[in-house]
Structure 1
């Protein structure tokens, strides 16, 4: 259709102007190309949440390397008492250091658990970024699809307007009943309402896209067509499900849980506190050295509850890892099949639309010549509208299938790797 080609040229021109004009100009508010928009969104709040999780894990790992602090104690004995019994002559001042000594490899186990936590956080970060890129691609495509639905609705309104003019002419010539004109007017009013709905859906889609990238000002449109890029992109090759980010996250969390179990088990081993100090006796000519060892008795607290909780978390993490592998294997097979099916559906929808367009052209000629009733023309035009919607739905389904496949491959829908 001429309307569609004009809209595509306007989209391309909008994208060119958006790239040439300074970003600060208020009238250049179209969303940039997808790859550029994804790059700009690195400072979005959703990315900050993911980075904060990694920073938290790094802080915990740094703290895990810290050794126990020594304790300095100062004691004064007999500094006040009965002068008759010479209590103050027995005055003693003791300064000592209590140095905790971790036994059983507690520190090394704690460090290993902290490092595993960093790996798990980094895996979650990459998976979160990939999920964000997938959501952004869907939101970008949704805005484009909403714009195309407006175009389809405008084409149908234009065609319904032309049909109404023809119906009025035939009614005026006495070749059609007044009822046919009313039917055409009702059809036009319905299509105009559908057009307003499509415009509202575009506003909502652009608002969603703006919110995803953290923009306080809603975009007015998109500057590239992801649907057209999917038309030119060949089917991607096989997918290794074990390399999916969801599997990597589950495996990293399982390893972190295993390290936590070891760390909790080591905590059940008592520590030793070495004591060394100096005691000054008032009646003596010099100081005395004091030393000792403190060993806690594990009579009540053996860390059993924390060990049991850590083991339960490990069991859950192992189960989640197994589920993630199965889901990734099934998802990879399904994604490849859905991409292929979506491509075939889109091709079939295009052939159907070509047939519907030719049928509408012939029906319109027949109606204007008075050889067919208006009801037949309305039915044929309705079929054309359905065919146009089906082809757009097929394009949307194909993009969604490719987005799922790209996530399994660890790349964006346009092929860029996500770090």
Structure 2
């Protein structure tokens, strides 16, 4: 009856796949103390299908979950809309390099009657961009679209990683619920044995209460595991935009072996990573924005067409042009801001490149260490625990052992299987992080 530390390996952002099975048949006869104990800790009620999520789909495959996340995750929807907003900037950038014409009209008349009539003059101004501002605006719009498109690609990678983590968390949570349910049955049977022994005078009241407390502890663990499953399904729904039913009892294996992503391989992946490209494209956008601001410091040339009549009533026509000298104001603030933003984006690109490479290298080594720990558990600890169960069952069948030893051995085996689930959960979480950086299953 050793207390079990609760380790929250299964969380909403973790991905795991594992399923452990443990069988037990209880042949103990019911007695009055057993009935009294069973009434203190209620058994788990049957699942209420009336509370299943509306329109929930059957639990998907991993590929299906990743595909849905790449298209329907909230962050992906927002990033896709950002690409549309960026493309809308082309509408203004493609306009002809001619600004809106404007008209000015002057009317005057002498006050001393020195002139014969009213003088009228109208000037039509037509601003024309002569310095290539339109081309620079198009370059800036193209750079903005490229930046937002790369950001969209980067967001899809992160969404796929979130889906992998949530998918695995749901699988492991379902397996944990099943395994803990079997531990609860073993703990209940153990408590019943102590109740019978107490009634027979072969155990103390303290032993009976400790067994009851142990059973209650596992009931709490079972309910918490069920809550973990519910949370994992909610996280999967958030990542994919769909609600799914809990996974069926299927065999869940750890992620497939990964290729080597350390050292130079991690550096090559980092160089091609959309996360890094997002910052480099952002730097390119601000470089184009500075070029546009520098050219727009040269105002358009105004062509002027003049028409009117003189004070003698004669028609008058003329023309000319005007140009503003960019001497004092040359968009200095806009250019300085664009330069600073470009420097920031380039610095972020260097940091991201280093972080991606180091993270991939570290995740590869961490996964290898977790796999080794799981292999030791599967090849040494679990077989030993299974042998202990077999020996306890054989001893009990020979009439030389107690049922309590069988129950304890079976519960220890189930706890090892729970530990195996935790290791698989951690490995799937690592895989989710790798997918968020690379976009693909390793």
Q: Please tell me the TM-score bracket, short chain as reference.
A: 0.7 to 0.9
* Distance in 2 between residues matched to 1:131 and 1:224, nearest whole Å: 29
Indicate the structure whose relative CO is greater, using CA pairs within 8 Å and at least 6 residues apart.
2
Counterpart check, 1:235 vs 2:258 = yes
Tell me the SS of whatever aligns to 1:149: helix
* Distance in 2 between residues matched to 1:2 and 1:346, nearest whole Å: 14
Tell me the SS of whatever aligns to 2:321: strand
Counterpart check, 1:69 vs 2:99 = yes
Q: CA RMSD in A?
A: 3.4
Alignment of 1:70-149 (within 5 A): 70-78=100-108, 84-86=113-115, 89-103=117-131, 105-149=132-176
* Distance in 2 between residues matched to 1:360 and 1:171, nearest whole Å: 25
Q: Any conservation in 2 of the 1:134–1:403 contact (CA below 8 Å)? A: yes
Once the two structures are overlaid, the 10-residue window that deviates more, 32-41 or 358-367, is 358-367
Gaps of 5+ in 2: 1-17, 24-52
* Distance in 1 between residues matched to 2:356 and 2:169, nearest whole Å: 26
* 1:251 aligned partner: 280
**TM-score normalised by L of structure 2:** 0.76
Cα deviation, residue 153, structure 1:
0.9
Alpha carbons of 1:223 and 1:32: their partners in 2 closer, same or farther (altered >3 Å)?
A: farther
Q: Any conservation in 1 of the 2:294–2:330 contact (CA below 8 Å)? A: no
Q: Any conservation in 1 of the 2:68–2:241 contact (CA below 8 Å)? A: no
Tell me the SS of whatever aligns to 1:128: helix
* Distance in 2 between residues matched to 1:402 and 1:222, nearest whole Å: 20
Tell me the SS of whatever aligns to 2:319: strand
Find the partner of 1:208 among 235, 250, 263.
235
Alpha carbons of 1:99 and 1:179: their partners in 2 closer, same or farther (altered >3 Å)?
A: closer
Alpha carbons of 1:170 and 1:223: their partners in 2 closer, same or farther (altered >3 Å)?
A: closer
Tell me the SS of whatever aligns to 1:75: strand
Counterpart check, 1:54 vs 2:83 = yes
Q: Any conservation in 2 of the 1:143–1:222 contact (CA below 8 Å)? A: yes
Q: Any conservation in 2 of the 1:32–1:224 contact (CA below 8 Å)? A: no
Q: Any conservation in 2 of the 1:244–1:410 contact (CA below 8 Å)? A: no
Find the partner of 1:32 among 60, 69, 84.
60
Tell me the SS of whatever aligns to 1:4: coil
Once the two structures are overlaid, the 10-residue window that deviates more, 339-348 or 395-404, is 339-348
Counterpart check, 1:221 vs 2:249 = no
Cα deviation, residue 120, structure 1:
1.0
Tell me the SS of whatever aligns to 1:46: helix
* 1:16 aligned partner: none
Alpha carbons of 1:133 and 1:172: their partners in 2 closer, same or farther (altered >3 Å)?
A: same
Cα deviation, residue 284, structure 1:
5.3
Q: Any conservation in 2 of the 1:241–1:328 contact (CA below 8 Å)? A: yes
* Distance in 1 between residues matched to 2:290 and 2:252, nearest whole Å: 49
* Distance in 1 between residues matched to 2:119 and 2:290, nearest whole Å: 50
* 2:418 aligned partner: 389
More helix by share: 1
* Distance in 2 between residues matched to 1:180 and 1:364, nearest whole Å: 23
